[in-house]
Chains A and B, each alone.
Chain A
Amino acid sequence: MPKLKIKVDPDLCIGAASCVTIDAATFQLNAENKAEVYDHGNAPGGPAYEREIEVTEAEKENILLAAQSCPTLAIFIFDEAGKQLFPEP
């Protein structure tokens, strides 16, 4: 299964929550109204703005869709090799 590194820039995030609407297993808002990254609904090691998770192809598509839906482009997605998949650099 592919691995993705998912990163939220809390400085850009405004809590619009479109990522949460699309993929609540990967994104949840914290007490500051910023999106944090989850691993299939879990937060091993505590809450984090950045996480590497193993996903299926379908899950990867949905995570990319969630990132694309962010109106402030606060979500960054990298593949295993560290290549930035979104936003296109």
Chain B
Amino acid sequence: MRFVIVGGGIAGTTAAEELRRRDPDASITLVSEEIHPLYSRVLLPHYLKGKVPRERVFLKKPEWYAEQRIEWLPGISVRNLDVTNRFVSLSDGREREYDRLLIASGGEPRVLPEDRRGVCYLQTLDDADHILQLIHEGVSGRAVVYGSGFIACEFAELFSHYGILFDVACRGDRFWPKALDEGSWEIIRTKLEVEGVEVRTGVEEFPLGGENLVGVGIGLEGNFGWAREAGVDVNQGVKTDEFLQTNVPGVFAAGDVAEFMDLAVGRQRLVGNWMNAQMQGRAVAANMAGENKPLRLVSSYSTNALGIQVTFVGDASREKSDEVRVIGDAREGVIQLFGRGGKLVGATLVGRVKERQAVTDLLKAGGRISDFLRT
């Protein structure tokens, strides 16, 4: 069996490792746009704050790939996919035939129209190195965080850690506008303001002014144009069923790029976090090897916004839910519970965490919002 995996991040690498474990004789090719062996993007903030040395962010050594007999092609991307003859053409001119193909190419940060020294993103290790260099060179004046999600929070934490004064510019009217209600946002906004951060909202365009450090976190763009051109069904991501299989036989998708049928919440959606990418990497390998096991995972993620814990469980979308219950207030923290068709499908917890496990367990069990309110 010939497996080709596009994407050397946690989803793709986990799938490669799992495929090797299952099939000692398979041919496995891992095409990776980045030149580094697998590292933890989640460790980048720790590296930036000096909590771990740079070498600790790596999860695989360069020699691991050869030891596993995985053909690792770093610094290479896919140019073209031919689903009829089952091969991919690569940026270095080579071609690889496959029996099963995995699209785990993740996403790339949306960028500002203008690129300039001092504008930074936080997606890759190279981005992190760039940020450190800028910080060590010294920052004059106030920095800006442009964005309203996890990456914006990381920039805020980072600037605060280094004592860099900064302001925040959000594209929408708050952080995570699709998920958070006014009360949850109030907790975060108040904390930012107490720390001396000016928060501007509704900043659709961000024209660069005199800032010499701008941390940009305005989302990811899926990296799958070549798959779309080959006839793979895409929307915001590459669409898959609960087996992570696309509409094209033999072609699968996993990780940040996959708009998968999430059985835990009952709809097709994109989930961009580490746990999801890793679990999907493992699950998709089983299915590529022929197991046909649906993935059922209550995905969750948590971050810290200048000391305020922010946690998302399941499908935390106000727009996609038909019932929302809010518990708590600014003093004790706010929980939002999202329901659809009578079932609990997601939650946000801001400024409190102790109910996280109970919410996760209830969601996993297919419970209702009213079941949670009774506990």
Contact = CB atoms under 8 A, between A and B. Distances in A.
Interface residues of B, number: 29
B40 A21 contact: no
Given A14-B303, A15-B353, A29-B353, A73 B278 contact: no
Interface in B139-197: none
Interface residues of A, number: 18
Question: What DSSP secondary structure best describes chain B's contact surface?
Answer: mixed
Given A29-B357, A32-B353, A72-B40, A12 B46 contact: yes
B327 interface: no
Contacts, number: 63
Question: What DSSP secondary structure best describes chain A's contact surface?
Answer: loop
A71 B42 contact: yes
B353 A31 contact: yes
Contacts of B136: none
A62 interface: no
Given A12-B51, A17-B302, A29-B356, A73 B311 contact: no
Nearest to B298: A21
Nearest to B43: A72
Nearest to B349: A33
B356 A33 contact: yes
Interface string A11-42: 11011111011000000110111000000000
Given A17-B360, A33-B353, A73-B43, 12 more contacts: A14-B42, A15-B311, A21-B275, A28-B357, A29-B356, A31-B353, A31-B354, A33-B356, A69-B278, A71-B40, A71-B41, A73-B59
Interface of B: 10, 40-43, 46, 51-52, 56, 59, 273-275, 278-279, 297-298, 300-304, 309, 311, 353-354, 356-357, 360
Interface of A: 11-12, 14-18, 20-21, 28-29, 31-33, 69, 71-73
